[in-house]
Amino acid sequence: MALSGQGALLGGFIHSSNWDAQAFENLLQAASQYQLDIDLHIDEELNSSAQGMRWLARYLQKSPFKGQITCSHSCALSLQDDAQQILDVLAQQRVTLIALPLTNLLLQDAVQGRTPRLRGLTLIKEAQARGIPLLLGADNVQDAFCPLGSYDPLDTLFSGLLSLQLGAAFDEASALICQRSALHAGAVQFSNDLVVFPDADITSWPLRQRQRYRLKNGVCYALKAGEQTDGA
């Protein structure tokens, strides 16, 4: 994997249904040995006994990891009594949390014939208070897990604003969809890339703001909603 080129990383699915502490330790040790970052699909469940984030925090206290660790989902934190202590540890490490509001709102606490009681979202505000790098993302889009949604970052932001009861969309919560530094352990070189919303205002953005333009290297391009922008 390390020989496959720049940006190579190791990933893992961490869940109570297949919990194996030794396998998790092997993953971290291999990533450290070969200087690879780690991308974890972790604790996507409403189970207070989930071990993924707990175990990761304890491990990092003993064996700090020099690379970047990305933890997506982490729903179990919302039910765990020791979640604050877990976040305290992660705040001292190179760990980024990614919340996936559409997927988790649909799948967590899903019982046939019953209205869901729990949101199933990770602890964004508590992580923010500790300075932990955060992002909002879209995991399952129009697939077997989530038949709805889009890859448009503004759709993701809007769903996060409501479900997580975030503050001002512009220019506080908007950082949750555009912080490149949250995905990189070292310094990040930013290009002169800008997305402009000509009809937006501070009270309605990002709702119904479909028209947008991309300014790159002095050239302006019209974009359709959800169109890819090469990481912009």
Same domain, 39 and 112: yes
Domain extent for 205: 191-232
Query: pTM of the full predicted structure?
Result: 0.87
What's the pLDDT band for 127 if we cut at 50, 70, 90? very high
Give the domain CATH number at 130. 3.20.20.140
Residues 131, 219, single domain; the answer is no
Integer Rg of the chain from CA: 18
For the chain, helix (H) and strand (E) counts, in that order, are 6, 8
180 and 145 in a common domain: yes
- In this predicted structure, what is the pLDDT of residue 25? 97
Q: Based on the domain organization, do 184 and 198 belong to the same domain?
A: no
pLDDT tens digit string along 22-47?
A: 999 999 999 999 999 999 999 999 99
Same domain, yes or no, for 123 and 173?
Answer: yes
Closest CA to 72 of 129, 17, 148, 127: 127
184 and 196 co-located in one domain: no
Does one domain contain both 209 and 140? no
Name the residue with higher pLDDT: 104 or 221: 104
136 vs 172: CA distance, rounded Å: 13
Kindly state whether residues 200 and 119 are assigned to the same domain.
Answer: no
**Nearest one of 183, 69, 149, 74 to 119, comparing CA atoms:** 74
Any idea of the CA torsion for 181, 184, 91, 131, to the nearest 10 degrees? 0
What total number of domains does the chain contain?
Answer: 2
CA–CA gap between residue 208 and residue 24 (Å, rounded): 43
